[in-house]
């Protein structure tokens, strides 16, 4: 069943009397068709934080308290762009990376009152470009470039930043990635001149190469490290088997299955732990790319040939909701649509865009008792929708017509709202919020005065 909510009246700013939560566009930070392009939208400490751009201060850190937007940083003063990104919570504070011309792109923190730079890992105007942040045992791990030892593993512990390991000694980079806690080990992919990119794990103060799956400098390039029970799963390449699924038990690495025998490989992707079982997409010549899972005996089996024969269903976006596993996949009749499984059967939730073209659902976010996502149909284009697990409802047609507003970065917000970025013809890409439970039957149409002007600047960025 496919239900429609009230839709096309949401292109106003705000929602009514001052103090009430807005419905639709919160504020046109870049007036007219220019876009403020809010992104990296996250919920923290009862508010919503994001990067956004206005005409006066450029790209800075903003927050939303449930009724209005407020800029909270001016890291690169006036019209400069600090371009905050990769917002995340650690140890009770909000962390992000940002650019200041005198220090480059480094790690910053907001404690609810002040914005400050943690340190200058790469001294001077060059950037450390910290990324791949992972918390383990109360310490924040990440990769960064100090300008001397290349891109290596670093940590923030008790307020102090230090390099953990120089896996590839000297100015060369090991470029650690997929940093993943696994029991008493911290595992990651890393590159050396001798072994290429392989799996490394840190135990105590030392990190060791777990196995050289592809001998020589090319490496096996392990990726999507995913913990399920007492195993660390990942996909990697070897000349004999191509790219296949492997597991590490803390001591040894084993090939789970040569799903596509020979050098071709099955190219596993979308690794996801659901109910203690690893689900993933993998490809074979006979069945195309379909949904697979690890079996109780430690092997792998295809769950269903959803798009029968060598054609692919290309499953992606695995998301647990309401005790079931939801994902997008395609078949010849319905195209790419939202599906669900209870571990036994795979069912179509709703054919949002009837026919073989599909609705291409994406940006899945569980908020309360609903699964929100963006999906398209021929009439409205890509717009915000939700499901209760049985039916799908269109929340709003923010960009009327077949183009769609392409909502993204769906995030829970104060006042039981769901907030996101979206594009409209007259305002460009801006910040929107809507009641999580849907639009009131008699939503007021007057503009909320609190949304008409940008809030006074809050905290200025420190040097």
pLDDT at 440 over 80: no
Q: What is the mean pLDDT of residues 321-340?
A: 97
Beta-bridge mates of residue 277: 274
Task: Note the pLDDT of residue 189.
Answer: 98
Residue keyed to tokens 């939202």 = 338
Residue keyed to tokens 């979308």 = 270
Residue 158: which residues within 8 A CB-CB, separation 6 or more?
Answer: none
**Banded pLDDT at 41 (limits 50, 70, 90):** very high
pLDDT at 1 over 70: no
* Residue 431 contacts residue 27 (beta carbons within 8 Å): yes
**Banded pLDDT at 79 (limits 50, 70, 90):** low
Judged on CB neighbours under 10 Å (0-12, 13-18, 19+), 87 is buried
Which structure tokens are listed for 344? Answer: 């036994």
Task: Note the pLDDT of residue 135.
Answer: 97
Closest Cα to residue 437, out of 363, 386, 366, 364?
386
* Residue 336 contacts residue 319 (beta carbons within 8 Å): no
d(CA 367, CA 94): 21
- Quote the strand ranges of 240-358, DSSP E: 242-248, 253-257, 269-274, 277-284, 288-294, 300-304, 316-321, 324-331, 335-341, 346-350
Residue 219: which residues within 8 A CB-CB, separation 6 or more?
Answer: 191, 195, 196, 197, 198
Judged on CB neighbours under 10 Å (0-12, 13-18, 19+), 137 is exposed
d(CA 100, CA 459): 16
Q: Tell me: the pLDDT tens digits for 103-162?
A: 999 999 999 999 999 999 999 999 999 999 999 999 999 999 999 999 999 999 999 999
Which structure tokens are listed for 385? Answer: 């929708």
Which structure tokens are listed for 163? Answer: 């390099």
438 vs 381, more confident? 381
**Banded pLDDT at 205 (limits 50, 70, 90):** confident
3-state helix vs strand vs coil in the chain, percent to 5:
0, 50, 50
What φ, ψ does residue 237 adopt, rounded to 5°? -110, 140
* Residue 31 contacts residue 452 (beta carbons within 8 Å): no
Q: What is the mean pLDDT of residues 370-399?
A: 95
Q: What is the mean pLDDT of residues 12-37?
A: 78
Task: Note the pLDDT of residue 155.
Answer: 97
Task: Note the pLDDT of residue 40.
Answer: 97
Beta-bridge mates of residue 85: 97
d(CA 14, CA 258): 56
pLDDT at 461 over 90: no
Task: Note the pLDDT of residue 7.
Answer: 35
**Banded pLDDT at 441 (limits 50, 70, 90):** low
Q: Tell me: the pLDDT tens digits for 269-325?
A: 999 999 999 999 999 999 999 999 999 999 999 999 999 999 999 999 999 999 999
pLDDT at 426 over 90: yes
Task: Note the pLDDT of residue 8.
Answer: 35
What φ, ψ does residue 53 adopt, rounded to 5°? -120, 135
Percent of the chain whose predicted confidence (pLDDT) is above 70: 90
Q: What is the mean pLDDT of residues 343-347?
A: 95
Q: What is the mean pLDDT of residues 209-231?
A: 96
């Amino acid at each position: 069943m496919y239900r429609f909510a009230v839709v096309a009246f949401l292109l106003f700013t705000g929602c009514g009397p001052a103090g009430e939560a807005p419905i639709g566009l919160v504020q046109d930070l870049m007036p007219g068709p220019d876009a403020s392009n809010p992104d990296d939208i996250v919920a923290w400490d009862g508010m919503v934080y994001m990067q956004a751009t206005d005409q006066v201060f450029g790209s800075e850190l903003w927050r939303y308290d449930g009724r209005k937007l407020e800029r909270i940083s001016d890291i690169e003063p006036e019209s400069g762009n600090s371009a905050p990104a990769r917002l995340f919570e650690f140890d009770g504070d909000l962390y992000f990376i940002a650019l200041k011309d005198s220090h480059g792109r480094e790690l910053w923190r907001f404690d609810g009152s002040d914005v400050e730079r943690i340190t200058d890992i790469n001294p001077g105007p060059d950037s450390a470009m910290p990324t791949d942040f992972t918390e383990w045992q109360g310490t924040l791990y990440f990769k960064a470039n100090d300008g001397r030892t290349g891109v290596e593993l670093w940590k923030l512990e008790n307020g102090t930043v230090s390099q953990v390991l120089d896996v590839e000694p000297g100015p060369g980079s090991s470029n650690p990635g997929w940093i993943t806690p696994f029991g008493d080990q911290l595992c990651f992919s890393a590159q050396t001149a001798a072994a290429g990119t392989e799996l490394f794990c840190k135990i105590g103060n030392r990190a060791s190469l777990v196995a050289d799956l592809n001998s020589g400098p090319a490496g096996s390039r392990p990726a999507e490290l995913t913990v399920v029970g007492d195993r660390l799963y990942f996909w990697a390449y070897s000349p004999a088997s191509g790219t296949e699924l492997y597991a590490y038990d803390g001591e040894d690495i084993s090939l789970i299955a040569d799903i596509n025998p020979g050098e071709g490989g099955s190219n596993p992707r979308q690794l996801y732990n659901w109910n203690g079982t690893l689900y993933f997409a993998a490809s074979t010549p006979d069945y195309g790319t379909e949904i697979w899972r690890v079996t109780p005996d430690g092997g792998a089996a295809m769950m269903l040939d959803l798009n029968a024969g060598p054609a692919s269903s290309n499953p992606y976006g695995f998301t647990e909701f309401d005790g079931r596993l939801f994902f997008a996949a395609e078949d010849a009749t319905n195209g790419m649509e939202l599906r669900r499984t209870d571990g036994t059967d795979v069912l179509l939730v709703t054919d949002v865009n009837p026919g073989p073209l599909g609705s291409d659902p994406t940006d899945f976010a569980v908020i309360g008792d609903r699964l929100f996502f963006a999906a398209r149909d021929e009439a409205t284009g890509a717009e915000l929708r939700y499901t209760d697990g049985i039916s799908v409802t269109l929340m709003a047609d923010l960009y009327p017509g077949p183009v769609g507003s392409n909502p993204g970065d769906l995030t829970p917000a104060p006042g039981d709202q769901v907030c996101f970025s979206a594009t409209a013809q007259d305002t460009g890409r801006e910040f929107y919020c809507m009641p999580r439970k849907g639009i009131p039957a008699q939503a007021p149409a007057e503009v909320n005065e609190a949304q008409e002007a940008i809030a006074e600047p809050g905290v200025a960025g420190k040097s």
